[in-house]
A and B are shown apart, each in its own frame.
Chain A
Amino acid sequence: MNFTQRVLTGVASVSLAAAGVLGLGAGWGLSNGHGPQGGASEARSGAATLASSGLATVSTGSAPAWRTVSAASLLGSAPADVTARSHHRAVAA
């Protein structure tokens, strides 16, 4: 069985699994599967929460969880293999 035949046989297995025939659950055994997140993409209505009160709050006492960095330190020089971007703006409730 060559590679393509083997993969397409795998496709049949995947289809059967997706249909529940193979008895696999929705999470497919993911160790960190999470239940349905109702309204997970909902952002709070209005942009009032984004006032200029600032986001640069840092925990005192123990090592800060958040820290500020320069914009330049976020960028590298290697060409990207894949690009991530916000495809849709979060939808208000």
Chain B
Amino acid sequence: MTALPGETPIPHLEAFDAHGVRMTLTVPAEPDEAATAAEVIRRLALETAPRWERVPGTVGGTELRARLLDEAGLALDGLGFMHWALSADGDVLASGSPRPRRAPDDGADPFFGEAWHASIADENGLPLADVSLAGTPGWHAALAVRRRGDGDRARTVAVLADAARAADRLANQLVAARPGEIERLEASLADDGAAALVLAAGQEPLVTEGWPLAGAAWLASEARAAH
């Protein structure tokens, strides 16, 4: 649907509020297709959120947006969209490419393109880190950012995982962990095929081995295993 024989549409952004969650959808498609996809996600969010809000711990927490992202991603996949980037209150889930390559004549891997470029910013919009996501359709890449504290006690964490709920869970653990516990959380990250970044005031950034530095792309764990 989004790998066209001619020019690839410019990524089109749709933004909307769904049950108190600010969501955006960026998809390289014609404006009417993008609007239709956004309507699908908005309806899903409106119908799904009340059900999730009955789950203990979901109301007022980050798990709601993570669940919305994962379900919205599956819905887009099911409807044939292979290239898209969703955000829900700042968390991101992406698939495919914003600029998928045109289908080659030999039919080999027609949908691979450049990765989504995600910028991690602080509450003032100041860029903290850049990371490229996904690139292979069907493999979701999630990015969750959490922050706590102010001044010299401020800590920002970011987690890359292949599902929004995993990124949410791990990011919440990291941002709440005592300094001595962060090292032990590396095992949890590895078990989920996730990567993390920790930024603490006055200290050099910490990353796990899987975190992609500038110029590198992060692929979901199953995609990494297959390539």
Which A residues are within 8 Å of any B CB, using their own CB? 3-4, 7-8, 10-11, 14-15, 18-19, 26, 28-30, 32-34, 36-44, 47, 49-59, 63, 65-71, 73-91
Contact = CB atoms under 8 A, between A and B. Distances in A.
Interface of B: 1, 11, 22, 24, 26, 32-33, 36-37, 39-40, 43-44, 47-48, 51, 55-58, 60-63, 70-71, 74-75, 78-79, 85, 87, 89-92, 94, 98, 116-123, 125, 127-130, 132, 143-150, 152-156, 158, 162-163, 165-166, 168-169, 172, 175-180, 182-183, 186-187, 190, 192, 197-198, 200, 202-209, 213-215
Given A38-B56, A47-B149, A68 B116 contact: no
Nearest to B120: A84
B190 to A, nearest CB: 8
A84 B79 contact: no
Q: Nearest 4 A-B pairs (CB), nearest first?
A: A80-B119, A38-B57, A65-B186, A74-B129
Given A18-B44, A40-B63, A66 B155 contact: no
A88 B79 CA distance: 31
28 contacts: A18-B48, A28-B71, A30-B74, A32-B165, A36-B57, A39-B61, A40-B168, A40-B169, A41-B172, A55-B182, A55-B198, A57-B180, A57-B182, A58-B183, A66-B183, A67-B206, A69-B204, A71-B205, A73-B214, A76-B215, A80-B117, A81-B85, A82-B26, A82-B85, A84-B87, A85-B122, A86-B122, A91-B60
A29 to B, nearest CB: 8
A32 B70 CA distance: 11
B47 A7 contact: no
B174 to A, nearest CB: 10
